[in-house]
Amino acid sequence: MGIPSKMWLKGMAEQKATNVHWHEGDITTEDRNKLLRQKGATIWFTGLSGSGKSTIAVALEGVLYDMGHLCYRLDGDNVRLGINKNLGFSAEDRTENIRRVGEVSKLFVDTGVIALSSFISPYRADRDQVRALHDAAGMDFIEVFVDVPLDVAENRDPKGLYKKARAGEIKGFTGIDDPYEAPLHPELVLNSHEMSLEDEVTAILSLLRARNVLPAENN
Amino acid sequence: MGIPSKMWLKGMAEQKATNVHWHEGDITTEDRNKLLRQKGATIWFTGLSGSGKSTIAVALEGVLYDMGHLCYRLDGDNVRLGINKNLGFSAEDRTENIRRVGEVSKLFVDTGVIALSSFISPYRADRDQVRALHDAAGMDFIEVFVDVPLDVAENRDPKGLYKKARAGEIKGFTGIDDPYEAPLHPELVLNSHEMSLEDEVTAILSLLRARNVLPAENN
């Protein structure tokens, strides 16, 4: 499309002027929350590779959608290939990876969206930094620790990564030769090897209602 | 909140099981667009400091909100202090700044949100890279060139930055001692010194309807 001519614009403005209603003042986070009938929040899933983070996030996403709520999953798949494609897996890069994801999550919360951020995020200090960023902005940060024993995750090994790590083909793999630092005060712990997916999703929904991220049930 | 007991979860699941309806398949961008009754898109405002980018984006945001649409403004204020706070103003850092903003814009489009990305973004190659990222994902990238002569922008000087740049207090300032490379094929050119704000917003709305970002007018 080229440059619109002044004549055309003038004609259009005369014809459609009634469609432009100026809004008083800037649009705020509260305005967007109202539009979406929810409160933006970050649900941060942390846990070992194979612990069940993505499975829970995907199930929750479907349930929230069917309830008419807007959420978005952030995970290694859409972040490592995009905004963080210039980062590796050194301790320094892992920290920057989580910092950026935390900032993106905050932008989603500001938009009114429920961010489902699903990352191993093995270092406590990195997660606590994301929490502090949310706290400072008065935003909800809900840390969900998907907690299964290492041997359970390793037996699942959905991507064959533990096998490669044990064979020394992957270095610095969380749980094998890189530490996983469990959360000290998560909002929720889900032992995915002992709970049904339905129980896990129900527990999260209950928490979201309690924190007014979702409106109270009206049925 | 501590760890929920299995007993409590079991009781809750029994009581509220009817609230969990499993959704078939993953939620897609199209699903979210449907929920929001719009199509996610990036509107990229480029132009000199003082050209009017923010003024137009703020006005558009208010009008879209009153129409029931979800958009979000990305600009130096919420990006330079957040996800890009570890970047400066060297050519390399400007490029990385725009790359990250482009990736964040893509995440918003994927969510179904209309991203209003307002950045001087002086280098053509950087903007074209963001356009290419959107094109590759089949996403709408709408480049709006807010085009005013340098002397107009400099006379406005809303932040007093031109004065400082002329005095040598700011180095590498776009339009003074750093280049601004005008878009060759923008979707829209707005000469903010010759157009009313209403005409500018009307022109953008018309374009958004033509590209099905907004539904056709039904009134």
Dihedral through CA A208, CA A212, CA A218, CA B2, nearest 10? Answer: 40
How is A122-185 classified by DSSP, letter by letter? --HHHHHHHHHHHHHTT-EEEEEEE---HHHHHHH-TTSHHHHHHTTSSSS-BTTTB-----SS
List A41's β-bridge partners, or say none. A114, A140
Q: Which CATH number fits domain B27-210: 3.20.20.70, 3.30.70.100, 3.90.245.10, 3.40.50.300?
A: 3.40.50.300
State the Cα–Cα distance between residues A176 and B18, nearest whole angstrom: 40
Residue A10: count of CB within 10 angstroms of its CB? 13
Contact indicator for A121, A46 with CB cutoff of 8 Å: yes
Q: What is the reported pLDDT for A10?
A: 40
Euclidean distance between the first and final Cα of chain B, in Å? Answer: 49
Min Cα distance A14 → chain B (Å) is: 9
pTM: 0.89
In three-state form (DSSP H/G/I as H, E/B as E, the rest C), the secondary structure along A71-139 is: EEEEEHHHHCCCCCCCCCCCHHHHHHHHHHHHHHHHHHHHHCCEEEEECCCCCHHHHHHHHHHHHHCCC
CB contact under 8 A, A23 and B83: no
Give pLDDT tens digits for B122-157.
Answer: 999 999 999 999 999 999 999 999 999 999 999 999
CB contact under 8 A, B106 and A35: no
Beta-carbon contacts of residue A95 (< 8 Å; ≥ 6 apart): A123, A125, A126
State the Cα–Cα distance between residues A147 and A184, nearest whole angstrom: 12
Chain B: residue whose CA lies nearest to A61: B27
Give pLDDT tens digits for B164-176.
Answer: 999 999 999 999 9
Q: Where are the domains of chain A?
A: 28-210
Examine the residue annotation and report whether A105 is marked as an active-site residue of this protein: no
State the Cα–Cα distance between residues A43 and A121, nearest whole angstrom: 13
Digit-by-digit pLDDT tens for chain A (219 residues) are 333 333 334 434 444 444 577 887 799 999 999 999 999 999 999 999 999 999 999 999 999 999 999 999 999 888 988 999 999 888 899 899 999 999 999 999 999 999 999 999 999 999 999 999 999 999 999 999 999 999 999 999 999 999 999 999 999 999 999 999 999 999 999 999 999 999 999 999 999 999 999 998 754
- Residue B82 has its nearest CB partner, among A61, A96, A103, at A103
Q: Tell the CATH superfamily of the A28-210 domain.
A: P-loop containing nucleotide triphosphate hydrolases (3.40.50.300)
State the Cα–Cα distance between residues B57 and B43, nearest whole angstrom: 9
Mean pLDDT along residues B33-60: 97
Q: What Rg do the C-alpha atoms of chain B give, in angstroms?
A: 21
Point out the catalytic residue in the list B49, B105, B117, B118.
B118
Q: Which of A121, A99, A130, A134 is nearest to A213 (CA)?
A: A134
Chain A: residue whose CA lies nearest to B137: A82
The residue among A163 and B6 whose pLDDT is bigger is A163
Q: What is the reported pLDDT for B25?
A: 79
